[in-house]
Structure 1
C-alpha cells in the first residue's frame, strides 16, 4: 500500500521544548541544526567519577513558575509544566474556552523525582528524620507530573504517565494518538520529561558502563554511531506536544508542524538492559508503525534515531533500521547535541522530527569523525552539517531498558 492513510493521523499543533538545546522551539531548533553539543562539566557532580552532563541552560523555575509553585515541584515536573504552558500557547489554544473535560495529558517519565528522593534520604540517614520534607512523596512520585500539568492548565480529561524507560516519551505520544482516534479526547498534551542528574543516579549508570568517560572533553563525549563512542552523556529536559485530530486542527485553522501517522511498540523479551543484538524487536515496531501509517519502507526519507552513543545500542539500531529501510533514509541522532534525556528522549526527538518535516532540514549527528566500522550494515548517517531538503515521511525510534521499543511515523501536514 503506497501513500499515507491520513484518516489515522493526528496533527502536532503546538510544542513546548525545555532541553539542553535551549528553552523554546526556536532556540532548540537553532542548536540542533548547529550540531554543537550542550555537554559540560557539572559543578553539582564535583568529585564524581563522571562529572559531565547536559542540563537545561538558564532554567529558573521561580521566574518561570513563581515561587509558590516552584518550591513544591521536583525539577522534572517543573520542566514539564513550563513545556506544557509553552505548547498550549504555541498551539494558540484558549484554556479559558476549551472543553476541559475533553482534554487529556499523557507524559512519559522513568525515574521521577530521583534528586528529591536522594536528598531527602540523605537527610533521613543523617539522623534527622524530623527534617525530611512532607513533600518528599508527592515531589518524587512519577505520576505527579501528569497531575500537576492537569492542575496547572485546569485539564479535567484523563491524565497518566507512561513508564517504558527511555521509550517513555514515544509511548506517551502513541497513547495520546489512540485517545484522539478513539474519541476519548479532542486535545491531548503528550510528551516526556526527566531530570535525574544526581550523584546517586549517575553513579548507578556509570557502574553499568552506560556513561561516557570522556570527562576531559565533555563537548565531544556524545558521539552516536562514531567509531570511538564510549557511552552517553546524561541529560535532562521536557518536550510536550499538543496533538489534535487532523480534521479538528484544520477546522480551527491551526498550524500543523507535522502529522503523527503511525505508531507501534514491541518488547524484546531478551535482557534487562541490553537490546536484542539484531534489533529484531525494534525492526518489528518500525514495520508495524509503517503499516499503521500506510507507508512503504522506501518512502521513509529520514529517521531521528535513538542513537545513544553506546556501543551496543548504535550497532543494534543500525541493523534494525537497515533491515526495514535499507540505506535510503538519512539517519541522525540529536543526542550528540542534547545528550540522553532518558524518559524525555522519545518526545524530544519526535518534536525534532516534526520540525525536520516542517522546515525541510535534517540536523547533523554531532561529533562523528568516522563511523564505526563494526556496524556491518549500510546506513546514511548525517554528519558535519545539516541537510536542507523537503521531507515528506520520517520516523523516530526509541528503545528502553526492559526491552521496550517504540516507533513513530510522521508525515508532512497535508
Structure 2
C-alpha cells in the first residue's frame, strides 16, 4: 500500500529553560542553563541538591484550581504543552472529524509525586487506609492521554508509551506510523515528566546516575566533557501535532517539517548501562535512515541522547562514527540536555522540537558547559560546543535511549 506523508503542524513546550516554544528556543540558541538548587523540597541531605526545574509556573494560570487538584504534575504539564500545540496548529478551528484524531502520550514514570504523597499521608496517619479517590487516576501513566482527549473530544487512537527515557520518542513514532497507514488524520503526540521529587532524586542518587556538582549546578550537565559525572534531572513536557500531509494542506495549515522516518531497537545488554560498542544505537540509526529512505550523507544535524554520563556519551559517539563514516565529520552534533537537563520520558519530544526548529531556522543549538577535551572523543567531530552555529539544516535526527536498553531515532526533514 502507498504510505501517507506525515507533517508537523503544531508545537508546544514547557521546559526548564522556557515555558513556551518561543522561550524554549530562545533559551536553546542562547545557551541557557536550566539547572539550579531544588526548590520543590528540602534537598539539603541529598547527594544531589539541584535539578532543572520549571520556573515561574502557576498551574492555575492554565487549569481551574479544582480540576488541577485532580491531576498529578506530569498530567498538568501535559495539558499545558498540548494546549499550546493545539492552539499553534489551529486544528480544532477546521472542524475536523474527531473520530480520526488521536492522542499518543509518553511518560517514563507518570504520577510519582502522587504516589509519594499518598504513601506519606498513610504513614503519618493512624493506620486507617484513607486514600484520595483520585490517587490511582492521578498516578497511572496513560491518564495524560485520556485527559487531553477528553478536553478536545478526540475519539481516535489513544494510549500511552512507556520506554523510560525513550517514551515520548516512541509516542511520536507510533503516531507517525498510524497516520501514514491511514488509521488517523492527526495525532497529538509527546510526553511529560515530573520526577523532581524526593523519591525521584533519591532513586537516581541510589543508582549513582546524577551529577553531584552541587557547587556549580549550572555547569553540571556537560556532555562529552572529560569531567562529566552524571546527568541532571529535569522536568516538563512537549507536544507535537502530527498530521497527514493532504489533510494539513486542505485546511491551509502551517507546516514546520515532515516526519521522514523512525527506528526502534534494543541493546539487550544491561538494565541501565548502554552497550559498550553502541550496538543498539548503531542499529536504531540505521533503521531510521532505512525507514526514511535517506543516506548518512543526507543528515545535517544529530541531536544526541548525550546525557553527560561517563559511559553513555562514549557509546553513542562510537555508534555515530560507525553509521555515518566520513560524513560524521560533516555533521553538527549537539546535546541540548546540557541546557534542559534530562526530562526522562519527555526528553525525546523536546529534543524533537529542537530538531524541528533547527530545520525551520537553520540554526543548530549548542552543547554548553564544555571545558576540558576528553581524549575518548574524536576531536574532529563537531559537537557544537558552547555556541549555536548557523548552517543549512535539511535533515535532523534525534536519538533517545532508555533504561532497559530501549533505543529510538526519529528523523525530520524540510518539506519539499
Quick one: distance in 1 between partners of 2:68 and 2:264?
35
Pick one of 16, 24, 30 that aligns with 1:20.
Answer: 16
- Please say if 1:198 is aligned against 2:197: yes
**8 A Cα contact 1:8 1:262, kept in partner:** no
Quick one: distance in 2 between partners of 1:359 and 1:70?
36
Aligned length: 409
CA RMSD, Structure 1 to Structure 2 (Å): 1.5
The unaligned stretches of length 5 or more in structure 2 are none
Quick one: distance in 2 between partners of 1:92 and 1:377?
45
Pick one of 343, 348, 354 that aligns with 1:352.
Answer: 354
Aligned residue in 1 for 2:319? 320
Cα deviation for residue 327 of structure 1 reads: 2.4
Is the alpha carbon distance of 1:7 and 1:386 closer, same or farther for their aligned partners in structure 2, counting shifts above 3 Å? Answer: farther
Quick one: distance in 2 between partners of 1:117 and 1:235?
19
Quick one: distance in 2 between partners of 1:201 and 1:21?
20
Paired residue secondary structure (2:166): helix
Aligned residue in 2 for 1:151? 150
The unaligned stretches of length 5 or more in structure 1 are 1-5
Aligned residue in 2 for 1:3? none
- Please say if 1:41 is aligned against 2:37: yes
Is the alpha carbon distance of 1:277 and 1:9 closer, same or farther for their aligned partners in structure 2, counting shifts above 3 Å? Answer: farther
Is the alpha carbon distance of 1:95 and 1:251 closer, same or farther for their aligned partners in structure 2, counting shifts above 3 Å? Answer: closer
**8 A Cα contact 1:72 1:139, kept in partner:** yes
Quick one: distance in 1 between partners of 2:337 and 2:276?
21
- Please say if 1:342 is aligned against 2:361: no
Cα deviation for residue 40 of structure 1 reads: 0.3
Aligned residue in 1 for 2:413? 411
Is the alpha carbon distance of 1:161 and 1:73 closer, same or farther for their aligned partners in structure 2, counting shifts above 3 Å? Answer: same
**8 A Cα contact 2:4 2:182, kept in partner:** no
Provide the TM-score with structure 1 as the length reference: 0.96
Is the alpha carbon distance of 1:95 and 1:65 closer, same or farther for their aligned partners in structure 2, counting shifts above 3 Å? Answer: farther
1:376-404 CA-partner distances (Å, limit 9, x unpaired) = 58532001211112211110001000000
Cα deviation for residue 209 of structure 1 reads: 1.1
1:172-230 CA-partner distances (Å, limit 9, x unpaired) = 00000011011111010011111011111211101111100001111011111111110
Question: What does 1:10-409 align with in structure 2 at a 5 Å threshold?
Answer: 10-43=6-39, 44-47=41-44, 48-94=46-92, 97-128=95-126, 129-325=128-324, 326-375=328-377, 378-409=380-411
